[in-house]
Amino acid sequence: MWRMGVPVATPVLLSDVVAGAVSLLRPDGQVRGFEKEVGSMFGSSALGLVSSGRSALYVLLCAMKRPSPRDEVIIPAFVCPSVGRAVVKAGLKALACDVNPSGFGLDEKALSNLVGSRTLAVVTTHLFGYATDVTAILKMAHSAGAMLIEDAAQAFGALTSLGQVGSTADAAIFRFGMSKLLPAPAVCLGVAH
């Protein structure tokens, strides 16, 4: 018996498919323009497009671990499974941190028990379009010598008291897929401090 479930694709015009294919063949066009525009929004030129949020996190973690002997990455216990998979694929150990029931940001007490000398990075997420406050999380990560990655896959353009999500941490990931705010490739962003 066949049942209708969640749609797996959004209807696309043939002209959009052709424009997308042309931009892939000539990346100096729309793709570079998109990278430049997003980079200017965050005041960063360290930006790259990849195929998925999982790939973006993998690339970031590989770059972060290269000069470091640290091997642990703290991730939210309530997060897309791709986050943990990217950590493992990068050859690192994922540690799940409890989240707050309101907003699903990292629980600061639980994080303080996990972060330590082996922590390479802490990944925090902004879920369902809502921004979480990353001030204390950033301070905890930096005091342990770790970096903070904002997974803003579901909150591109959301604002906090510190500015746009993705502009506070050491690096940020945005994903623009079918279930996200904008249908486009993933963005890997390094924020210069």
Query: Counting Cβ atoms within 10 Å, is residue 108 exposed (0-12), middle (13-18) or buried (19+)?
Result: middle
Asked, for residue 12, whether it belongs to a domain, the answer is no
Domain count, the chain: 1
Query: b/e map of 20-36 (b: 16 or more CB within 10 Å)?
Result: eeebeeeeeeebeebbe
Asked, for residue 167, whether it belongs to a domain, the answer is yes
Asked, for residue 13, whether it belongs to a domain, the answer is no
Amino acid 179: pLDDT = 54
Asked, for residue 87, whether it belongs to a domain, the answer is yes
Of the pLDDT bands very low, low, confident and very high (cuts 50, 70, 90), residue 77 is: very high
Amino acid 28: pLDDT = 61
Asked, for residue 20, whether it belongs to a domain, the answer is no
pLDDT digits (tens, 9 = 90+) for 25-70: 765 666 677 777 777 776 776 777 777 778 889 999 999 999 999 9
Q: Which helix (H) or strand (E) holds 36?
A: helix 30-42
Residue 92's Cα: distance from chain center in Å? Answer: 17
Say if residues 72 and 118 touch (Cβ distance below 8 Å).
yes
The yes-or-no verdict on residue 81 having pLDDT over 80 is yes
Amino acid 182: pLDDT = 47
Q: Where are the beta strands (DSSP E) in the chain?
A: 47-50, 72-76, 93-97, 119-125, 147-151, 159-160, 163-164, 171-176, 184-190
Gap between the Cα atoms of 8 and 150, Å rounded: 27
Can you list the alpha helix ranges (DSSP code H) found in 44-160?
A: 53-65, 81-89, 108-114, 135-143
Asked, for residue 39, whether it belongs to a domain, the answer is no
Give the CATH number for residue 77. 3.40.640.10
Residue range of the domain that includes 53: 44-190
Look-up: residue for tokens 């999500």?
A: 165
Q: Work out the number of other CB atoms within 10 angstroms of the CB of residue 93.
A: 14
- The mean pLDDT value of the chain amounts to 79
Asked, for residue 179, whether it belongs to a domain, the answer is yes
pTM of the model: 0.75
Of 2-6, 7-11, 23-27, minimum mean pLDDT range? 2-6
pLDDT digits (tens, 9 = 90+) for 134-163: 889 999 999 999 999 988 877 777 777 777
